[in-house]
A = this chain, B = another copy of it.
Amino acid sequence: MSSSLSCVIQAGHDRPMVGILGGMGPLATAHFYRVLIERTAATTDQEHLPVAIWADPSVPDRTRALLGLGPSPVPALLEGLRWLRSAGAACVAMPCNTAHAFRIELTRLSGVEIMDMVAGALLDARKRDPAVRRVGVLATSGTRHARLYEAAAAALDLEVLHVSAESQRHLVEPAIAAVKGGERADAARWIASAAQELRDSGAEVAVAGCTEIPLVASEAAEILPVIDPMVSLADAVIERLWVPAAAPAM
C-alpha cells in the first residue's frame, strides 16, 4: 500500500472524493455533510463533490481517552481511514474537534491526510477580523486538556481563553451531552451564558470548538461573533477539491 500525504485523485477515480471520518457524534457528521453541500456552488446533483462517509459512533469517547479514563479511539478510527482510502478518498475531513488530538498520529499510521479543522477555525477568526487577539473557545474537556487550540493559536499570535472549570462542568459539558442525547431545549441557553463569560473575560470572538456546539449557538451569536469550525473545514475542503463544471452536467 502506497502512502500519500496530499489530497490527490486516486487511481480509478476521475474526480477527487472527499472522505468524512464521522460519527463523533452522528448529528455533527450529518450537519457537516449538509454544510459541505450548501457551501458548494453547484446547481445540479452532478456538480457536487463525491463523498464517502464512515460514521461508527461506537468509537471510544475521545475526552475519556485524553483524560486517561478510557481506551484510545485510534484503532477504530484507523479502520475508518482504511475504508475511506479504499473508497478513493483524496483526503479526509474529521468533523470532531476533540479527535484532532489524534490527527497527527492517525495521519502517520494511515498515510491519509486529515485536514486541520482547528487551525482552519482560527484562520477564519483572523480572516473575519485581522485585529483579533483574544479568541474564546468553547470545547470539550478533552480538547482543553490536549491544548489543541492553544497549540494552533501560538503560530498565529492569538491568545486562547476558556470558561472557568465550574462553567465547563455546569454549562459547556451538559450542553454537548444534551445535543448528543437529542435534547436541545436548555443547551442554547447554557452556551449563551458561556459566551457571556468569555466576552466578560475579554474574548473578541468565540470558536464553537466542539461539533455539537454550533447546533445550539444561535443565542450565543448575539453576544459574540461565533466561528463554526465545521464551516471553516467545509470551505477548506471545497477550496482544495472542488472544480466548477466546465460544461452543463449530464
Could you tell me the distance in whole angstroms from the C-beta of A42 to the nearest C-beta in chain B?
A: 7
Q: Is A152 an interface residue (CB 8 A)?
A: no
Q: Is A102 an interface residue (CB 8 A)?
A: no
Distance in angstroms between the alpha carbons of A71 and B46 in the assembled complex: 14
- From B30, B59, B83, B181, A30 is in contact (CB under 8 Å) with B30
Distance in angstroms between the alpha carbons of A61 and B45 in the assembled complex: 9
Contact (Cβ within 8 A) B70 A250:
yes
| CB within 8 Å for A50 and B45 given contacts A30-B34, A33-B30, A37-B27 | no
Contact (Cβ within 8 A) A83 B52:
yes
Q: Which of A164-205 contact B (CB under 8 A)?
A: 180-182
Could you tell me the distance in whole angstroms from the C-beta of A61 to the nearest C-beta in chain B?
A: 7
Contact (Cβ within 8 A) B182 A38:
yes
| CB within 8 Å for A43 and B182 given contacts A30-B30, A33-B33, A53-B52 | yes
| Binary interface encoding of chain A residues 8-39 relative to chain B, with 1 for a CB under 8 A from any of its CBs, else 0 | 00000001010000011111011101100110
Contact (Cβ within 8 A) B181 A44:
yes
Considering the complex, give the chain B residue whose CB is closest to the CB of A51: B55
Contact (Cβ within 8 A) A48 B25:
yes
Closest 3 CB pairs of A and B: A53-B53, A25-B45, A50-B56
